[in-house]
A and B are shown apart, each in its own frame.
Chain A
Amino acid sequence: MHRSLHIEPSLCTGCLQCELACSFEHEGEFIPVRSRIRVFEFEHGKTSVPFTCTQCVEAWCQKACPTGAIFVDSDLGAKLVSAQACVGCKACTTACPFGTIEFNPFSGKVDKCDLCHGDPQCVAACPTDAITYLDAGATGVGRMQAFAEQNAKGVSL
């Protein structure tokens, strides 16, 4: 079963533990500027929204890449970057409408969310379950349940 990252902004407190975990996992140090997941704040912190690669099935980045460096891990459904094949042309960073693939000036390659071999560290680090790793075909179930609960409160037997 493919899983995807599901983000529930209403649960996000803006703690940035996801950025810390992601950068540590990939870089071996705490360097949020290199995190593949980022948290954005709006309205003086009223809303905090983590965002990262959505692992498009038909990925703009993959199509734009001239060397075929972006490939699919068929187990995870993740789009991964081959460091050997990547030449740092950055065509993918222009092609991705979400901006979630980013050039790394230090390595000369591009970085993106790779779902951490199926054990996403951002999910492990999130203290409020604002980020979860769910069945890719059922990410909306939690929200449906929340609304159903509201309806259940109004039902008399």
Chain B
Amino acid sequence: MQVEVRVTGQLIDYFSGTHVNLDEGATVEQALVVLEIPAASVGLVSVNGDAVPREKRAQHGLVAGDQMVVMAPLTGG
């Protein structure tokens, strides 16, 4: 299935595309593996505008057409 993906901040160095193909029922955690973005480098993932807490990434299943945003951590500045 196809899921829309946006990444923010320096994570663009890992993935600069717009979509990713995943197995049906893939979780957020699995999606990060497919995108080759190290989980520890991710600040937050949101799906369709809702935050997916870190501990829920392995449970949150994605469906076709979902909009996933993979956000870099926030630092100071």
Query: In their complex, do chains A and B touch, with some C-beta pair under 8 Å?
Result: no
Residues of B at under 8 Å CB distance from A?
none
Residues of A at under 8 Å CB distance from B?
none
